[in-house]
Structure 1
Amino acid sequence: MSETSTSPIRRLRGRVAGLAVTGTALVLAAPVPATAAAGQSLAAAADPVSVMKYTAKERKDALAYWTSARIKAVGKSVDLGPTGPKAKPYRGTALKTVGRLFFVNSRGADTWCTATSVKSANRSAALTAAHCVRLGSSPGNTNTAMVFVPGYHKGKKPHGTFAVRAVATPRTWETDSTRDMAALVVDADKNGKKLTDVVGGQPIAFNRAVGGTVSALGYSATRPQLGEELLRCVGTAKKEHGMQAIPCDMTGGSSGGPWLADFDTTTGKGVLVSVNASLDALTPTKMYGEVLGATEKKVFDRAQNS
């Protein structure tokens, strides 16, 4: 099920239901030269942003699909080992902005990642990892039935469920598995309220120098939490392998979770500087995230202006 790789970094694939843990290996394919996919138009190849959309029926079906029983089942379907010691349960003010992103992956399995509501022009955007929305280097393999549950905690959905209506990723992720971040656009909730009007949004810092103390958060599929509680790693960000890294041992399910600089646990506010993307080894000691630059800004702008 996994790709062969010569890289020391593994992608944090969302946990896959119904498969043995060995079948959920979190892999980063070795980088290859950027080329347009077969049949891809020159215009599309020149556009640095790739967008996919879900129809009104698909969004309605997604909301109906993710019942409380299904969410409970997906959390119990796998165990990726013990939590920690670097990852600790988050114990600050409840984070309205961070939540679980549920979806059916390209192999048809129920699974999840982590996503974050961010300040945006349309008040409807969230950030996650690109591998949480589509398979890298495989344009046709996209995830479906995608919903965002901000503030998720032990089965509770205190701020409702938001259907994802569009996703933007760097085109290099679609063609070459590089630049692992994505921006989501979600529908209003059942009461007609937009995402950031309900839960607020974390600001994003693009082109920020790597460094300083960062909190990485995510719904890792490790026990005893098994995705039911938000975990947190804290460390100093450093440049490595063309990305940024902090000490962290969260694993599958935490993919797409925010890296928050200047984070205040009493207010739940910080500045988003990256998202969980990769691990360094089978037994992780480091978490990697992209450095958010010009391409990532274009991805976010496409989402926030849609």
Structure 2
Amino acid sequence: MPPTSASPAVSAPHSSSGSSVTSAPASRRRHRIVVAAAAGTVLAAVAAMPATAVPEKKPADPVSRVSYTAGERRDALSYWTPARIKAVGKSVDLGPTGPMSQSWQGAAMKTVGRLFFVNADGADTWCTATAVRSGNHSVVMAAGHCVRRPASPVNTYTDLVFVPGYHKGTRPYGSFPVRAALTPRTWAEDGVDDVAAMVVDADATGRKLTDVVGGQDIAFHHPLGGRTVAFGYPATRPQRGEELLHCTGTTVRAPGDEQSVPCDMTGGASGGPWLTDFDAATGHGVLVSVNSHGDGLSGSTHMYGPVFGDLAQQVYGRAERL
């Protein structure tokens, strides 16, 4: 559910359009798609091969990747000015903040921030994302619909910049442009498994992301049923994406390899972390899912997120090796 002038980021039923302000010029919407699938090569038959033999094809890579050039990353940093960030928040109003969504008053959540981008329609918008521990110290986790349109391989997003610890216009730890975004191939082609891992550049001083803000632990195949805190920057008022909100509840299994937690956050909260074993005094926990969508009703009461299994682990593993 990214917010756009059409609506902020949380995937449908939370609209996956980010708050839009202006359409990005055509030159800004350039991107490169790195096709991760390795199609099998069909070789000419040789005399020793029986006429009925069928060349074996390699399976498609389960991870899809989009990469951004150094120039595109510089442009992204220049694009997201303080004025543009302020405008994108004002451009979306998803109604009053629900009673379950509370402003975060605990330890500074340095690892959680807003992910700004231009969506496939050329609209400015944002999601929520989280820095996690990784081998390259540079991985950010979010929802798949925060980096590309579902079931539409060519519709990827541009000008992605992660701002950890964002609060009311401040960028206390700097801005980190995204150089690669990875999702399950099933998200790119079929619109299922709504998770993404991004690799970001170092900051302006050359420091890597988690060397600056730390990183949340991440777990795969984690048992459901634990007390979980979901965070996000929804486009509801009065906050309009300017403050970090949270919900707390117990996770339960949901259909379609998803899980749910009681929460009424809306667009803009998409991609926000679900942290279990969470310590409010330190702001650290274990990432077990991300905000994907609400229950589709007016005044949603539950947030849904993917169960982190083998596929999410492959996406994360590929990202930390870049």
Which structure's CA Rg is the greater one?
2
Change in Cα spacing, 1:12 to 1:202, as seen in structure 2 (3 Å) is farther
Offset, 1:45: 6.1
TM normalised by structure 2 equals: 0.84
**Structure 1 unaligned blocks of 5 or more:** 2-8, 20-39
State the 1:233 CA deviation: 0.5
Write the deviation string for residues 190-231 of structure 1: whole angstroms up to 9, x where unpaired: 000000000000000101111111000000000000000000
Task: Return 102-111 or 205-214, whichever deviates more.
Answer: 205-214
CA distance in 2, matches of 1:79, 1:60: 30
Aligned partners of 1:181, 1:14: CA distance in 2, in Å? 16
Instruction: Give the letter for the 1:180 counterpart.
Output: D
User: Does 2:268 match 1:271?
Assistant: no
Q: Which residue of 2 aligns with 1:31?
A: none
CA contact (8 A) 1:51 1:168 kept: yes
Report how many aligned residue pairs link the two structures: 279
Alignment of structure 1 residues 129-140 onto 2, 5 Å: 129-140=143-154
Q: Is the 8 A contact 2:112 2:165 kept in 1?
A: yes
Name the counterpart of 1:198: 212
Amino acid at match of 2:261: I
Structure 2 SS opposite 1:126: strand
> Is this contact kept in 1: 2:14–2:296, CA < 8 A?
no
What is aligned with 2:227?
Answer: 213
Letter in 2 for 1:298: Q
Q: 2:39 aligns with which of 32, 38, 42?
A: 42
Percent identical across equivalent pairs? 59
Question: Are 1:110 and 2:124 an aligned pair?
Answer: yes
Alignment-mate amino acid for residue 295 of structure 1: L
Gaps of 5+ in 2: 5-11, 23-36, 41-57
Kept in 2: contact 1:170–1:299 (CA 8 A): yes
TM-score (norm 1): 0.88
Shift in Å at residue 281 of structure 1? 1.6
Asked if 1:123 is matched to 2:126, the reply is: no
Match of 1:28 in 2: none
Aligned to 2:253: 239
CA contact (8 A) 2:38 2:61 kept: no
Q: Please, what is the CA RMSD of the aligned residues? A: 1.6
- Does 44-53 or 146-155 show the bigger shift? 44-53
2:261–2:302 contact (8 Å) kept in structure 1: yes
User: Where do residues 122-161 of structure 1 align in structure 2 (5 Å cutoff)?
Assistant: 122-161=136-175
Distance 1:18 1:68 in 2: 13
Residue-by-residue CA offset, 1:156-204 (whole Å, 9 max, x unaligned): 0000000000011000000000000000000000000000000000000
Contact 1:12 1:254 in 2 (8 A): no
